Structure 1
Amino acid sequence: MEFVHYIFLPALAGGIIQGVTGFGAGVVMMMFLPLQYSVVQSAGISSAICMILCAAMVYRYRKTINFKKIFAPAILYLAISSISILFAKMINQEVMKIILGIFLIILSLYFLFFNKKDIEPKGIVSILCIVISGICDGLFGIGGPLMVIYFLAKTSSKEEYLGTIQCFFLINVLYSTIFRIFNSIITIDLMPGIGLGMLGILVGLFVANKIVDRLDGGLVKKLTYVIIGLCGLSNVITTLL
């Protein structure tokens, strides 16, 4: 029952939100997984579950992937995220929960007020996008927001963007999952839960496809961003008390 409550249901919720709004399922799962697992383990579980989404998207857009635009950022991203994963293991997990709470608040504010798709990162800004994303991915399993901005600017069509960024994320989650396994963050006893989470996220996407036309996607997005911020605030307050 532990896996059902703490992995399957968050993955199901993440799949529904992702399907309705296009919003990252990983962020939604990281609102709930730390209630049962350490932040380090939660990041690994969330990333591993999201692998199934990335694989499905890569298969769908496989003909439009621009591999030349993946290679360089992937090397830097994976190096930074690896260092961050090892660093996260050494931090007190109560401190990590506070950091995660602050991160969720910042993420909420970013999506509510600063998520502009017309930003074009160049030079050092591009590098910062990759570095910051790699750090966030290593610490919390959430590296998507700034990489969305990066790849939107580097690709010339919606199809090329979707194929390229999903391939980038698939490479990352495959690598980070293996890296976390070798560093005993993802352990064998978590594998059934991760498999159940993959099922949950697919069920969530199926449900979302059935109800998406009946909902106001923009309103759902805003509500989700607000809930993320409130969860972050609650995380900080409950950890400090």
Structure 2
Amino acid sequence: MLTRYLPVFLILALLAEILGTVGGFGSSVFFVPVANFYFDFQTVLGITAVFHLSSNLTKIAFFRKGLDKMLILYLGIPAVIFVSIGAVLSKHINPTLLGLILGVFLIVLSLVFLIFKKLVVKDSNKNAITGGILSGLSAGLLGTGGAIRGITMTAFKMDKATFIATSAVIDFGVDASRAVVYYYNGYMKAEHLYIAVFLVVVAILGTWIGKQILNRFSQEQFRTFVLVLILLIGIASVVAEYVKL
């Protein structure tokens, strides 16, 4: 069935990668709910991990002007540990329930950022560790944790290139860890491997386009637009999963 709609799916994945790069939230916040319309939620988790691995390698290559090594240590290590815990838990929770939780999560997250536009987290090692734990657990359980990591990282006042590169390095470790767990959970199916090849190309192209946009406009100019999209996607996800009940 997906083969028939593959071009539409890949275009949506490309848009997710562009918006994720420009908005600073990561592509999974858009890709997971989109993919959920085509696959069961557990398969979505497996495909997202593969898609994100290539996406993050591309971001590291395109935005390699510096890394915040201390943030990688304090935020990245807890994220890698807790993404595995979330990935293990995902096998024991009803996929439809996970889809509903994802939709509610996106709605609440977008509304919080839209209402409290100046929301920031204090730049402390304790908050970096907490952000890593929450973003990792969310990524393993729901497939997306970039928004939590993003709001934590903004407290450390990095330039755009350093922010994206540092986030990509952390995310790469997160995706590599959960990909192993998802594989043993049986989320990565042989019949979907051909899609992963297309998604690698989509990740490279989408990141490149996102970089060109960021070179011409500020990240803040797109932030509200991206948050409204996340809100709409969250609502659509809740409606779609409610229909399945």
TM-score norm. by structure 2 comes to 0.80
Question: How many residues are aligned here?
Answer: 241
Residue 171 of structure 2: aligned partner: 169
The structural deviation recorded for 1:124 is 4.4
The letter for the 2-side match of 1:2 is L
Is the contact between residue 54 and residue 169 of structure 1 (CA under 8 Å) also seen in structure 2? yes
The structural deviation recorded for 1:239 is 2.8
The structural deviation recorded for 1:21 is 4.3
In structure 2, how many angstroms separate the alpha carbons of the residues matched to 1:196 and 1:83? 29
SS of structure 2 residue aligned to 1:126: helix
Residue 11 of structure 1: aligned partner: 13
SS of structure 1 residue aligned to 2:91: helix
SS of structure 2 residue aligned to 1:30: helix
User: Per-residue displacement from partner, 1:132-189 (whole Å, max 9, x unpaired)?
Assistant: 1112101222111232233344476555433322211122222222332232212222
Q: Which runs of 5+ in 2 are unaligned?
A: none
Instruction: Flag the 1:236–1:51 CA change in 2: closer, same or farther, 3 A.
Output: same
Of 22, 34, 45, the residue aligned with 1:43 is 45
Is the contact between residue 83 and residue 139 of structure 2 (CA under 8 Å) also seen in structure 1? yes
Give the root-mean-square deviation of aligned CA atoms.
Answer: 3.2
Of 84, 87, 111, the residue aligned with 2:86 is 84
Residue 71 of structure 1: aligned partner: 73
User: Per-residue displacement from partner, 1:14-50 (whole Å, max 9, x unpaired)?
Assistant: 1332455445321111221111222232133223212
The structural deviation recorded for 1:74 is 2.8
TM-score norm. by structure 1 comes to 0.81
Instruction: Indicate the percent of aligned positions where both proteins have the same amino acid.
Output: 22
Residue 235 of structure 1: aligned partner: 237
The structural deviation recorded for 1:10 is 2.5
The letter for the 1-side match of 2:93 is I
Q: Which runs of 5+ in 1 are unaligned?
A: none
User: Per-residue displacement from partner, 1:42-84 (whole Å, max 9, x unpaired)?
Assistant: 1332232122221122234446224344234333212211111
Q: How does 1:1-241 map to 2 (within 5 A)?
A: 2=2, 4=6, 7-18=9-20, 20-62=22-64, 64-114=66-116, 116=118, 118-122=120-124, 124-154=126-156, 158-206=160-208, 221-241=223-243
